[in-house]
Every structure is written in C-alpha cells, then in structure tokens.
Amino acid sequence: MSSKQARMEMWISAVYIRIAVILCALGMVPAQTPPASNYPAELHEMAQQRLIKGQPGSWSAWSEWSACTRTCGGGITTQTRECRYKPMGRHRRRTHSIVTQHHCIGLYKRIHICNTKECPGTTDFRQEQCSRYSGKEFLGRAYDWEPFMDAPNQCALNCRARGFRFYATLNAT
C-alpha cells in the first residue's frame, strides 16, 4: 500500500470517528460503527471527554410542552431545557452558573407534531398567516400580503406584498 493510500485510509477512518462521535454526542448511536472501532460506548465516552473537557454541565428539567402552533391541519409543540455550567474561578472556586449549549451532551429541544386533523373550510393556511400581517406597518408602509412559495427557506413564512415585486420573511421558523 502506498503512503498516499495509507493517508487516505487514515483520513477516512478519522472522518468516520468524527461522525460517530457527533452522533453519540447527540444521543444517536450509528447503525454501523466505523471501521476503526467496534465500541459505540467508547466513542460516546470520547465524545463526552472531548466536548466537555472534564467540566460537564447539567441539564435543567424539561419545560412544559408549549401550546400547539395550530388548532388544526398540523402544528408543532416544543419542550426545551437549559444546560447549566459552572466554570472554575481563578482560585478553584465555582463561579456563577452560565447557561450554555456547549457543555452538555444531548438535545436541548424536543418537537412533536400536534393537532393533525384537517381544518374545516378551504382557506390556505399560508394565506391565513400572511393576511395576519396585512395592514400592519412594514418598513414604514402597510401592505396586503399573500404567500410566496419560491423563497429558499420553505419553512419560514415568506409573504409577497400584493402589487409589488418583493417578498419578506415575516416569521422565520
């Protein structure tokens, strides 16, 4: 095997390990372990040591589930928690707690789909959402808004001002 092939194999193994470390850090064990290791538990431990460097944070309790974003037609409800981390001060004393996402392993947000029954009537939900902004001031002027579906971020509420050649993201999600 040439040194170029050996370097390439080492690089590929390193990439597989990084992917496995990230998946384990997120609480997801990969379906197939990387060729460099057959021990997902060891990879998870490596992820913990690498991410928190011996000073782990701790998660708060999960919040209550939020209200569903829609009463029908499929909405979402979310639940969050905070990572609390107390760094060491100069004299090895714990300072005040900091809220961060970088010192805890796991998810900080959970999302569930809710109210999935179809809505009565024929009103398009995007039309309904955009029309809520009609008549409200936007950049110094009130517009009548309609859905705009050709924007790059399809998950955001993109609305076009009727009679004008621009759209705006009125409520990014």
pLDDT band at 63 (very low <50, low <70, confident <90, very high): very high
The CA distance from 155 to 152, in Å, is 9
Token representation of residue 170: 């009125």
pLDDT tens digits, residue range 122-167?
Answer: 677 788 888 889 998 888 999 999 999 888 887 788 999 999 999 9
37 has pLDDT over 50: no
52 has pLDDT over 60: no
For the domain 58-114, what is the CATH code?
2.20.100.10
Strands in the chain per DSSP E: 58-59, 75-80, 83-85, 98-100, 109-114, 137-138, 141-142, 145-147, 157-161, 167-171
* Whether the Cβ atoms of residue 87 and residue 55 lie closer than 8 Å to each other: yes
1 exposure class (CB count in 10 Å sphere: 0-12, 13-18, 19+): exposed
Q: Among all chains, which residue has been given the structure tokens 């010192």?
A: 103
- CATH 2.20.100.10: which residues of the chain? 58-114
pLDDT tens digits, residue range 91-128?
Answer: 555 555 565 556 777 888 899 999 888 888 767 778 88
